[in-house]
Structure 1
C-alpha cells in the first residue's frame, strides 16, 4: 500500500513538472508592430537587371531613412 502511494505521488510530481516545463519552453506570442504607413517603396523598373533593381531599392531606402532622420530631429546649425 505504501509503495502504491509512493508511485502515485511520484507520477503526480512528474506530471506537474512536465506541465510547467511545457509552459516554459513554449514560444511566447509574438506581437507584430503595425506597418509604417510612411515607408512605401515604389516597384523597381521592369526592364532592369536584378543588380540595378537592388541598387535602386538601396537608394530609395537610404533616401527614406535620411528624410525620416531629418524630420525626427533637425541638427542645429554650426556657428
Structure 2
C-alpha cells in the first residue's frame, strides 16, 4: 500500500511538471506582438542605416589596423 501511494505521488508530480513544461514551451513559441505600426517603414530603414554605418566603421578600423607597421622585436639577430 505504501509503495502504491509512492508511485501515485510520483505520477501526480510527473503530470504536474509535464503540464508546467508544456505551458512554458507554449509561451516561448507564442509570436511577439509587433512594436511598429503597419506601413511604418522608417524604423526599419533607420535600423538598416545604423547597421550599415557600424559595418562601415568596422571595415575602416580593420583597414587602418592592417596598414599599420608591425612592431619588430628589439633583439633582431
* Bucket of the pairwise TM-score, normalised by the shorter protein: 0.3 to 0.5
- TM score, norm. by length of structure 1: 0.41
Query: Which structure would you say has the larger RCO, counting Cα contacts within 8 Å and 6 or more residues apart?
Result: 1
What TM-score, normalized by structure 2, do the two folds share? Answer: 0.42
